[in-house]
Structure 1
Amino acid sequence: MSEAVSIRPLLTVENSVINLVLDVFHKCVASEFSDEGVSEFKQFVSSEALSRRLNEISFAFIAEIENHPVGIIEIKDNNHVAMLFVDYRYHKRGIAGRLFSIAREKCIADNSSFKGMTVNSSLGAVQAYERLGFLQIGSEQNFHGIRFIPMEMAL
């Protein structure tokens, strides 16, 4: 029996969501980053930083099972995937795809000139983003110790 996943907008920062992001980051991504990169990422996902982005330039959705967060997507400037994390225990169950689909539909509905989306993918998530329709548009980059591959999806 599969567990029902519900998706809702994240309107205010919730500690359980920050904990989810940090847990998945440490288990799946942190080893790709330098100490500086890990510190930069932690600042990026702090309650204060996420709250500021949600109030100014971003929107987010969370996926939940029995009111427990198992995934989050944050979209910045209505066209850039700033974060997409799914609890590693729930990988390969379509949760990332559902979050992305809902977020993309909101981008299209909110922006009549919407042309596509971008993401700076962690090295380990490139194939997941390719399955969502993204293509690599550059080689590996390193910004303040954060290693990533720039990717894009046209409409």
Structure 2
Amino acid sequence: MPPLELSLRLGQSDDARAIGVLVRRVARRWILPDQPHDAGVAMLERMSAKVVRERIAIGCRFHLAWLGGTLVGVAAMRDDSHLIQLFVGTRYQGRGIARRLWLRAMRDAVRRASTRCFTLNASRCAVPVYRRFGFVATGPERLSPNGVLSTPMQLLLDASTVAGF
């Protein structure tokens, strides 16, 4: 049997449960160990299917990566400029899925809004990944207003890069 091909598509409200299950599982494994307890609990609540549905309804764009019928990755963008989630299932990491999701989300934002500046708040374990994507830290690791430890990061695209999309 040939290996399954990765398929990417825009998430819909019906995908909210699968998105919530994946991102909460990955967050528990990779992000929560570095977070204050209360911040971790609040973070998991913000990753629930209900909140995902609400975010989709207000225009956040969730790009999904599937292998067969299995959701293996999620990239979510707010306001066509702020990456709010980029998660790949632990067993699927190291295969370039995060990069493919990021490029899809970025190109979508550039196409829709001509975005040239992207921002995100990176967990400690994700900072090296985002650096490989071209992001730079805009400040030190800090506690956000919701108590989550993260590093603010930014990516500026030059005009020639934007023109290539």
Q: TM-score, normalised by structure 2?
A: 0.89
| Distance (Å, rounded) in 2 between the aligned partners of 1:147 and 1:139 | 10
Measure the CA separation in 2 of the matches of 1:91 and 1:49: 25
Q: 1:18 aligns with which of 17, 20, 26?
A: 20
State the match for 1:52 in structure 2: 54
Q: Could you give the per-residue CA deviations for residues 4-62 of structure 1, whole angstroms, max 9, x where no partner exists?
A: 11111101143222111111111111101111111221121112221111111411111
User: Which residue is 2:148 aligned to?
Assistant: 146
Question: Which structure would you say has the larger RCO, counting Cα contacts within 8 Å and 6 or more residues apart?
Answer: 1
Could you tell me how far 1:3 is from its partner in structure 2? 3.5
Residue in 1 that maps onto 2:116: 115
Contact 1:61 1:73 in 2 (8 A): yes
Q: Tell me the secondary structure at the aligned position of residue 51 of structure 2.
A: helix
Q: Which residue of 1 is the match for residue 67 of structure 2?
A: 65
How many corresponding residue pairs?
A: 154
Give the root-mean-square deviation of aligned CA atoms.
Answer: 1.3
Give the superposition deviation at 1:2: 4.7
- What's the % identity of the aligned pairs? 26
Partner of 1:27: 29
Q: CA offsets per residue over residues 93-146 of structure 1, 9 Å max, x none? A: 10000001011111011113x222001000010000011110111001112331
List aligned pairs for 1:71-86, cutoff 5 A: 71-86=73-88
**Bigger mean CA offset, 55-64 vs 69-78:** 55-64
Structure 2: unaligned runs, 5 residues or longer: 158-165
Runs (5+) with no aligned partner, structure 1:
none
Question: Which 4+ stretches in 1 moved above 6 angstroms?
Answer: none
For 1:138, give the aligned amino acid: G
The reply on whether 1:9 has 2:6 as its aligned counterpart is: no
Larger radius of gyration: 2
